[in-house]
Amino acid sequence: MSNETDNIESWTSTATNQVRDEIAAQPLEVNEKNRLWWETLPMTYEDWGKEERDPVNLEDFERVDRHYFGTNPYLQQVWPELCQGAKVLEVGCGAGSAACRFGSQGMIVQAVDITAKAVELTKRHAEVSGISSVQALQCDAEDLSPLTDGSFDYLYSWGVMHHSAHPERCFAQACRKLKPGGRGLIMVYHRNSARFWLKGLYWLILKGRFLKGETFESVQRHFTDGFYQKHYSRESLTKAMEDSGYVVEAVKVTHMSSRMIPFIPEGLRQWLKERIGWLIVAHVRRDA
């Protein structure tokens, strides 16, 4: 069994729901709610309910890296293809695992994140790892105007833009930053996934949320991270990418917990994972 599954069921907890409810009650701009959620619960791959969640030293960051890459076999598989050109833009850097991996492989990295916390963690990650080619900037991906248009060889965004209030703005903004012909990878959540439908059904029927007028879309928030979490099908993601100015080179589906559909042979789980997995990845290019 792949260890990609280990972190999935613990994605949500009472802590995440409490934070969401508290933020929902505040009169904030829409993307402020997104920012505040991640400022409160940064992506450090620790239990959401744990008190001390921030990595501090090299050992802590190495643990984050092991989790990041260990739970994402897809990334390990495609990583060599991602190191294209000299300059990479990472949108939504979290604790900086990918930024530092790119940096350690000789790329100049501009990482951005909507939270001050992620910027601080990414800078610390690079510093304790002795990597000097990673720059981190607090910036909303819906407005990347601080960065120069057409200046990046590669764009990387893993599990970020679907959490923004207007993901399509993030897609389009990031496309403008690529050099003509530059490539990228954008991962978001998959709508036609076992997780979306099975967990959605559980929450709607067994937890009775349909009685409160909830839908498959709206119940996702009870068991999925972030304040917002938009899900895309292959078709809707392809269209969103094309509308944002990309040429779509491939769309891949990956990541499925063994707990989602238990008691099936590993071969069948792998087959299902590529069809009804939770993560959908667009490999894109800006037209030359």
- Minimum distance from residue 2 beta carbon to ligand SAM (Å): 17
Q: Which residues lie below 8 Å from residue 3, measured CB to CB, with a gap of 6+?
A: 70, 71
Among 88, 99, 170, 260, binds ligand SAM (CB under 6 A): 170
| Closest CB to ligand SAM: residue number | 94
Among 40, 115, 193, 257, binds ligand SAM (CB under 6 A): 115
β-strand pairing of 134-138 with 108-113: parallel
3-state helix, strand, coil in the chain (%, to 5): 45, 20, 35
If the CB atoms of residues 68 and 223 are measured against ligand SAM, the closer one turns out to be 68
**Using rule CB under 6 A, residue 174 touches ligand SAM:** no
**Using rule CB under 6 A, residue 16 touches ligand SAM:** no
**Using rule CB under 6 A, residue 131 touches ligand SAM:** no
**Using rule CB under 6 A, residue 136 touches ligand SAM:** no
* Other Cβ atoms within 10 Å of 146 Cβ, number: 11
**Using rule CB under 6 A, residue 158 touches ligand SAM:** yes
Q: Which residues lie below 8 Å from residue 189, measured CB to CB, with a gap of 6+?
A: 159, 162, 196, 224, 229, 230, 231, 232, 278, 279, 280
178 membership: H or E segment, kind and range: strand 178-190
**Using rule CB under 6 A, residue 141 touches ligand SAM:** yes
DSSP β-bridge partners for residue 188: 280
Which residues sit at the interface with ligand SAM, rule CB under 6 A?
34, 38, 43, 68, 91-92, 94, 112-115, 118, 140-142, 158-160, 163-164, 170, 225
